[in-house]
């Protein structure tokens, strides 16, 4: 057994943590949140320069990592600092989609996109979820039909994170099969300026932005297809697996920050003539938070360590980690707010943002209940 990070990962973690501690101040973050793009392009470039984006992708496409522990190491730091930049959507989710399964070789076009992504020169968004899909990975009702020389997309995509900033959308659509089927699913690269794409953006509660998208007879060349026709389910599932490991690790980092801020507060805030941290009832609650952070850390290690494993084993560990973090994350966020009192409710205090990051992470790719159902299904199979 060895739970130490490799030297390279340790170095990346240290430099990323230092960079974010120095540069990603509350003021810098609030500026990024208020930016019309939903993020800071200066920070994005600096993250690329630090090697953060490259470390999320494999050597075969010009990166220098891409394994579960690379993703977990980076996202724990991003979570610790409450980073709102779309690393998850552009690099992990869309990066994985462009790479495809481990044995696949990306086309030269897709390799070029990946190179630009690693250089910090490309924003992407995965337009996948729909009004009726509710976290189901292959529930796609949007259709892709042949219309003369073209492929025609028709459908609706909901809460597509980073959609407005994206130069390209990766859109899932069905070329066959029924809603929920794994077969018949395809992916398409779509320029959001294409005729028939309608988008309405909104800010997200925990930072960043998303778009509601309508695809009304959007005509594409067949070359816009990413991977094999009707066979995209494996690609989608492995990209979502990587994104869920990232999200679990991000929540872990945020839970560490929430707990640290709470401990700092309990030792400084005076009520009834003494620091409130001297009250045993509150001490026990901090102790529980600390226990839960360690449980969350172990769950992230389990999930990250199985990301390259067989899909069923991988997904079972991911569902377990995300269910546990859904539960403990809610507990830690709520306890941190409660133990702070009113100050934690104010937008300008750091904990407010961190608590929102933790709780809202449950709303991407499946909340604790959904993960519980997945775990039960995968355990019975």
Partner 1 sequence: MDLNYSTEDLAFRAEVRAFLEAKLPQDLSDAVRLGRGLGKEGHDRWHSILNEQGWLAPTWPEEYGGCGWNAVQRHIFDEECCRAHAPRIVPFGLTMLAPVLQKFGSDQQRAYFLPKILSGEHWWCQGYSEPGAGSDLASLRTRAVRDGDHYVVNGQKTWTTLGQYANWIFCLVRTDPDAKQQEGISFLLIDMDTPGIEVRPIILLDGTHEVNEVWFTDVRVPVENLVGEENKGWTYAKYLLTHERTNIAGVGFSQAGLEAVKRLARQQIHRGRPLIENPHFAARLARAEIDLMAMATTNLRIISAAAQGQAPGVESSMLKVKGTEIRQEINDLARRAAGVYALPFASEALAGDNSALAPPEGSDAAAAQYFNNRKLSIFGGSNEIQKNIIAKVSLGGRT
314, 241 in Cβ contact below 8 A? Answer: yes
Please report whether residue 135 would count as binding partner 1 according to CB under 8 A. Answer: yes
Please report whether residue 225 would count as binding partner 1 according to CB under 8 A. Answer: no
For partner 1, which is the closer residue by CB, 73 or 262? 262
For partner 1, which is the closer residue by CB, 120 or 326? 326
Distances (CA, A) of 361 to 1, 102, 134, 252: 30, 27, 15, 11
Q: Is the dihedral of CA 239, 245, 246, 251 positive or negative?
A: positive
- Taking contact as CB under 8 A, which single stretch among the options 35-43, 76-84, 243-251, 368-376 is the one that binds partner 1? 368-376
How many residues touch partner 1 (CB under 8 A)?
54
For partner 1, which is the closer residue by CB, 53 or 319? 319
**Interface with partner 1 in residues 47-106 (CB under 8 A):** none
Tokens of 232: 């995209």
Please report whether residue 166 would count as binding partner 1 according to CB under 8 A. Answer: no
What are the residues whose beta carbons fall under 8 Å from the beta carbon of 355, sequence distance 6 or more? 258, 333, 334, 336, 337, 344
Alpha carbon distance 132, 125 (integer Å): 20
The strand pairing partners of 170, in sequence order, are 126, 189
For partner 1, which is the closer residue by CB, 64 or 135? 135
Closest C-alpha among 319, 312, 331, 335 to residue 248 = 319
Q: Which of 5, 119, 282, 290 binds partner 1 (CB under 8 A)?
A: 282
Alpha carbon distance 270, 192 (integer Å): 54
Please report whether residue 294 would count as binding partner 1 according to CB under 8 A. Answer: no
Closest C-alpha among 380, 378, 381, 361 to residue 135 = 361
Q: Which of 14, 264, 294, 369 binds partner 1 (CB under 8 A)?
A: 369
Alpha carbon distance 102, 95 (integer Å): 13
75, 86 in Cβ contact below 8 A? Answer: no
Please report whether residue 139 would count as binding partner 1 according to CB under 8 A. Answer: yes
Minimal distance, residue 138 CB to partner 1, in Å: 11
**Interface with partner 1 in residues 305-364 (CB under 8 A):** 330, 334, 337-338, 341-342, 344-348, 352-353, 355-356, 359-360, 362-364
Minimal distance, residue 200 CB to partner 1, in Å: 5
For partner 1, which is the closer residue by CB, 30 or 302? 30
Minimal distance, residue 198 CB to partner 1, in Å: 7
**Interface with partner 1 in residues 14-53 (CB under 8 A):** none
- Taking contact as CB under 8 A, which single stretch among the options 60-68, 116-124, 167-175, 210-218 is the one that binds partner 1? 210-218
Residues 95-134, one symbol each (x = binds partner 1 by CB under 8 A, - = not), give ----------------------------------x-xx-x
Q: What is the CA radius of gyration of the chain?
A: 21
Q: Which of 2, 4, 271, 280 binds partner 1 (CB under 8 A)?
A: 271
**3-class secondary structure, 155:** strand
**3-class secondary structure, 136:** coil
98, 63 in Cβ contact below 8 A? Answer: no
**3-class secondary structure, 293:** helix
Closest C-alpha among 252, 356, 355, 95 to residue 86 = 95
Which residues are at the interface with partner 1 (CB under 8 A)? 129, 131-132, 134-136, 139, 156, 158-159, 161, 179-180, 198, 200, 202-206, 210, 212-214, 270-273, 281-282, 330, 334, 337-338, 341-342, 344-348, 352-353, 355-356, 359-360, 362-364, 367, 369, 372-373
């Amino acid at each position: 057994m060895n739970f130490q990070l490799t030297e390279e990962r340790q170095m990346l973690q240290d430099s990323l943590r230092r960079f974010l501690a120095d540069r990603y101040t509350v003021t810098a973050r609030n500026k990024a949140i208020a930016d019309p793009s939903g993020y800071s392009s200066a920070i994005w470039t600096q993250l690329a320069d630090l090697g953060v984006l490259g470390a999320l992708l494999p050597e075969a496409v010009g990166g220098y990592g891409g394994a579960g522990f690379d993703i977990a190491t980076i996202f724990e730091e991003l979570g610790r600092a409450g980073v709102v930049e779309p690393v998850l959507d552009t690099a992990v989710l869309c990066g994985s989609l462009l790479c495809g399964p481990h044995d696949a070789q990306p086309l030269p076009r897709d390799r070029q996109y990946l190179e630009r992504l690693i250089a910090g020169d490309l924003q992407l968004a995965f337009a996948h979820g729909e009004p009726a899909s509710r976290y189901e990975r292959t529930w796609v009702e949007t259709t892709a039909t042949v219309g003369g020389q073209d492929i025609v997309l028709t459908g609706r995509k909901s809460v597509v994170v980073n959609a407005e900033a994206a130069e390209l959308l990766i859109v899932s659509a069905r070329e066959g099969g029924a809603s929920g089927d794994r077969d018949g699913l395809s992916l398409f690269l779509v320029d959001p300026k294409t005729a028939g794409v309608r988008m309405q953006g909104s800010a997200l509660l925990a930072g960043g932005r998303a778009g509601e998208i309508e695809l009304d007879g959007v005509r594409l060349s067949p070359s816009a297809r990413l991977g094999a026709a009707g066979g995209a389910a494996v690609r989608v599932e492995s990209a979502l697996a990587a994104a869920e490991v990232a999200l679990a690790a991000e929540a872990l980092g945020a839970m560490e920050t929430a707990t640290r801020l709470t401990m700092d507060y309990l030792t400084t805030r005076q009520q009834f003539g003494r620091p409130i941290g001297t009250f045993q009832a509150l001490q026990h609650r901090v102790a529980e938070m600390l226990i839960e952070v360690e449980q969350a850390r172990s769950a992230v290690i389990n999930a990250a360590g199985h990301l390259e494993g067989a899909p069923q084993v991988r997904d079972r560990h991911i569902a377990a980690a995300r269910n546990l973090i859904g539960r403990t994350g809610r507990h830690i966020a709520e306890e941190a707010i409660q133990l702070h009192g009113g100050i934690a409710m104010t937008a300008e205090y750091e904990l407010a943002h961190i608590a929102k990051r933790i709780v809202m992470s449950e709303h991407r790719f499946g909340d604790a209940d959904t993960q519980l159902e997945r775990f039960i299904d995968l355990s019975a199979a």
